[in-house]
């Protein structure tokens, strides 16, 4: 069974009644139970539900643009009125976009419940042009604040939640830690977030993890910025950036410099959500597996989470990073998908009961 960590007994009772999946035994797919295998296989095994998006480009204060992919769900039977249709903002991982299988599955789950979804694609990675020499990072929440304000201004009467995966979860937690209760979001779900960047990077630099994950992700990051080389080389030595062989080297030469950090350690300190957890002011459910090499079990801030009544951690012993595969042939629904579906439904339809139970 997963370990449910929450200091607030009311939140626990709420989850047990309306999100019972967090108390059920999780049975990982028996032939790929190890964390790294789960992580590697999920993108290839899971299906890719068909989703038709409506794209919107919005401007930022610094002259840049952000690409949003909307799933309006205009055929919703439960919420035919678009002005009050519940909305879920989805934040993909480090180099992820609205096309990732885990995002498509979240939208598929939301569609069955009648909800609307909008995917926040980080600058420059969803095919749109980079208008200014700036991309994104886990610590800077300005673009996310712009998106949340924009979505809320379009549908001020619609219940509004967010879900972040991996780096998207880190960014969302850093935003919530910064804003406290001053956010239009009523709740959030976080999946496979890296809680302490120093520990995550150290884990990913172990020889096997570097070979399986670190080097590949570094090349993905380089590929995502190389397309915008012409505008970025005004500020960066792109030849040096393209020589990076680890995420740490990439962040040292590019990310930390772009966002004005004195050292890479300053950036990693600011990007670590564990530092801001005490300030979160809305209900947040966080799912992690303790065998996730991107977010090692010993770095999950269990004691800090117990100090905030708004936080609930769900910790599984297996599942890897955005894995959580279950069943003999895990093509469709994963444990993570089920947690997402039950939690957003619980909050949208019974959220007013959370602190009265």
| Full DSSP string of 282-310 | S-EEEEEETT-TTS-GGGS-HHHHTT-TT
- Please provide the distance, in angstroms rounded to a whole number, between the alpha carbons at the two ends of the chain: 24
Structure tokens at 209: 């993890």
Structure tokens at 240: 């040096």
Chain centroid to CA 94:
9
Question: Average pLDDT in the 179-187 region?
Answer: 97
Can you list the alpha helix ranges (DSSP code H) found in 68-141? 101-113
State the chain's mean pLDDT as an integer: 96
Give the residue numbers marked as catalytic: 166, 292, 321
pLDDT for res 350: 95
CA dist 164 and 221 (Å) reads: 19
Alpha-carbon torsion angle 139, 320, 180, 254, nearest 10: 0
pLDDT for res 99: 97
What burial letters (b/e) apply to 12-22, b meaning 16+ CB within 10 Å?
A: bebbeebbebb
CA dist 292 and 262 (Å) reads: 30
pLDDT for res 215: 97
Which residue is listed with tokens 């069955």? Answer: 112
Question: Average pLDDT in the 265-286 region?
Answer: 97
Alpha-carbon torsion angle 78, 191, 215, 49, nearest 10: -20
CA-wise closest residue to 32 among 47, 45, 48: 45
Domains, in order of start, for the chain: 3-196+273-353 (3.40.50.1820), 197-271 (no CATH)
Residue range 31-46, pLDDT digits in tens:
887 899 999 999 888 9
* pLDDT-derived band at 140, boundaries 50, 70, 90: very high
Structure tokens at 251: 């962040």
pLDDT for res 330: 84
């Amino acid at each position: 069974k997963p370990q449910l960590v929450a200091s607030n007994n009311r939140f626990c009772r709420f989850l047990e009644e309306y999100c019972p999946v967090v108390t059920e035994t999780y049975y990982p797919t028996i032939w790929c139970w190890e964390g790294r295998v789960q992580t590697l296989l999920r993108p290839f095994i899971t299906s890719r539900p068909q989703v038709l998006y409506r794209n919107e480009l919005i401007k930022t204060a610094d002259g840049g643009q952000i690409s949003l992919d909307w799933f309006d769900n205009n055929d919703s039977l439960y919420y035919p009125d678009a002005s009050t249709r519940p909305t879920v903002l989805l934040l993909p991982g480090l180099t992820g976009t609205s096309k990732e299988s885990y995002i498509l599955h979240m939208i598929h789950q939301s569609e069955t419940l009648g909800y609307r979804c909008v995917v926040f694609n980080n600058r420059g990675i969803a095919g749109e042009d980079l208008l200014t020499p700036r991309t994104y990072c886990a610590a800077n929440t300005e673009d996310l604040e712009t998106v949340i304000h924009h979505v809320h201004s379009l549908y001020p009467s619609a219940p509004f939640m967010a879900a972040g995966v991996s780096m998207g979860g880190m960014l969302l937690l850093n935003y919530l830690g910064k804003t406290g209760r001053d956010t239009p979001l009523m709740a959030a779900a976080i999946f496979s977030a890296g809680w302490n960047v120093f520990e995550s990077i150290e884990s990913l630099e172990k020889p096997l993890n570097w070979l399986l994950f670190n080097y590949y992700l570094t090349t993905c990051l380089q590929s995502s910025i190389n397309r915008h080389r012409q505008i970025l080389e005004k500020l960066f030595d792109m030849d040096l950036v393209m020589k990076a062989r680890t995420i740490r080297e990439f962040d040292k030469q590019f990310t930390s410099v772009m966002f004005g950090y004195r050292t890479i350690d300053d950036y990693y300190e600011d990007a670590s959500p564990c530092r801001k957890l005490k300030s979160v002011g809305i209900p947040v459910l966080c799912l992690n597996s303790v065998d996730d090499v991107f977010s090692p079990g010993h770095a999950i801030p269990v004691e800090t989470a117990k100090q905030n009544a708004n936080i609930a951690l769900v910790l599984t012993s297996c599942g890897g990073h955005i894995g959580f595969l279950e069943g003999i042939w895990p093509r469709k629904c994963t444990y993570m998908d089920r947690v997402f579906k039950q939690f957003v439904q619980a909050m949208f339809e019974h959220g007013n009961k959370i602190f009265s139970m």
